[in-house]
A = this chain, B = another copy of it.
């Protein structure tokens, strides 16, 4: 996995409505129509958001009869968190190194 696959994940997470959807799915799997019942946007808007989330690998869809249920995938989030962590650490290390050098002057 390169950062190129990481960016869409962040882009997907950079929207309030999408977090509402994820939070709702956190309560249990649901279809776009069902979500439209508890959120202040139309089913079609939700469907678009779900497409973005699925593209980012944050949710997966399961056909149940005539409805399409969505399930949140915590693994992708954890994976992303792990990579963020390591990047953050690198930067912190660099800053610490600079500080050390500055103190040696």
Give residues in A with beta carbon < 8 Å to B.
3-4, 7-8, 10-16, 19, 26, 71-78, 80-82, 84-85, 87-95
Report the Cα distance A87→B19, complex, angstroms.
11
Query: A14 and B19: CB pair below 8 A?
Result: no
Partner of A78 from B19, B74, B80, B89 at Cβ < 8 Å:
B89
- Copies per complex? 2
Chain B nearest Cβ from A81, distance in angstroms: 4
Chain B residues closer than 8 Å to A91, beta-carbon distance: 26, 72-74, 77
Question: Looking across the interface, which residue of chain B has its beta carbon closest to that of A84?
Answer: B81
Chain B residues closer than 8 Å to A88, beta-carbon distance: 74-78, 80-81
Chain B residues closer than 8 Å to A78, beta-carbon distance: 84-85, 88-89, 92
Report the Cα distance A76→B92, complex, angstroms.
10
With A11-B14, A12-B14, A78-B89 known as contacts, the answer to whether A26 contacts B94 (CB < 8 A) is yes
